Amino acid sequence: MTKDAITITGLKKTYAPSAKSPAKDALKGVDLTIPRGSIFGLLGPNGAGKSTMINIMAGLVIKSAGNVNIWGFDQDKNPRQSRAAIGVMPQELVLDPFFTPRGALDVQAGLYGVPKRQRKTDEILELIGLTDKADAYARSLSGGMRRRLLLGKALVHSPQILVLDEPTAGVDIELRNMLWRNVRRLNEERGMTIILTTHYLEEAQEMCDEIAIINHGELITRDTTANLLGRVSAKTMIITPTTPTDAPPMPAGITAERRGDRLALTYDQTQVTAETALDALRAANIHIKDLRTEEADLEEVFLALTSSA
């Protein structure tokens, strides 16, 4: 059994030209592996090719070239098994307004050929927090509840892989926290592989073990989250002096600016030590009341990689 949940090699997708636009290469020969049991981030700007890749994995879009292997099943040779191994929570809120949550889950399970005795409708309703709304029409549900129902529909056939496409777009903090608790539970207790696309980069930084960044249909980088964060070596030291003061002259490699009552000292931590910055403050006769540091975050890494790609 392969150790990877998904293996993609040479994946290409070219959309045919239309009267209004020329042919477009959405994916240009992408190679990517996603380990089993991981929480994996798939990031990129709008139009980078993320949705095309997800739709190909889900069997909704036909690839132009390449190979996709899902949970050990070649998508071309074993399409039914490969589709059964993956569940997708789409970004769009597409639901039949005349079905109840219970009915929607049962219909979805039926479409996947899950026998009635094997369905876990009540368990899923409890997981997504819709037990008390199980028999209400979907049209009466709030936007957050509808998004929960989309998650439930993605889980009805007990997939080994769960794809979350912008799952927290436009939702409140409470729902976002509930969603991430459930995702961690599915990953830790069931070993489910999670693939996340999001524009909230702080979520990817907090949740994901590994991250791949796609831009212009090409894989720009793929690494552990920790290694990606380590690529940006800039560090900022936020100083609260005992008496507000302007930024003093700094040695080469350190920039200083005043932020209200604080001073921000930014430097490359591979070239300059914190001690050098503090020595410069002491030399300027600045006494420190409080100090904190700001490390690079995923947004800085993302912008650095995609803007130069």
The rounded average pLDDT for each run of 10 residues, N- to C-terminus, in the chain (309 residues) is: 88 90 92 96 90 92 96 94 94 84 94 93 92 89 87 94 88 83 92 92 89 93 86 82 90 90 87 88 91 77 72
Q: Which two tokens mark 77?
A: 């040779």
Delineate the domains of the chain, giving CATH numbers in brackets: 4-229 (3.40.50.300), 234-296 (3.30.70)
Please say whether the beta carbons of 32 and 20 come within 8 A. no
276's enclosing H/E stretch is: helix 274-283
Task: Give the C-alpha separation, 121 to 112, whole Å.
Answer: 14
Task: Give the C-alpha separation, 52 to 35, whole Å.
Answer: 20
User: How confident is the model at residue 20, as a pLDDT?
Assistant: 82
Task: Give the C-alpha separation, 153 to 243, whole Å.
Answer: 58
18's enclosing H/E stretch is: none
Amino acid at position 121, single letter: T
Q: First vs last Cα of the chain: how many Å apart?
A: 36
User: How confident is the model at residue 163, as a pLDDT?
Assistant: 96
Predicted structure pTM score:
0.80
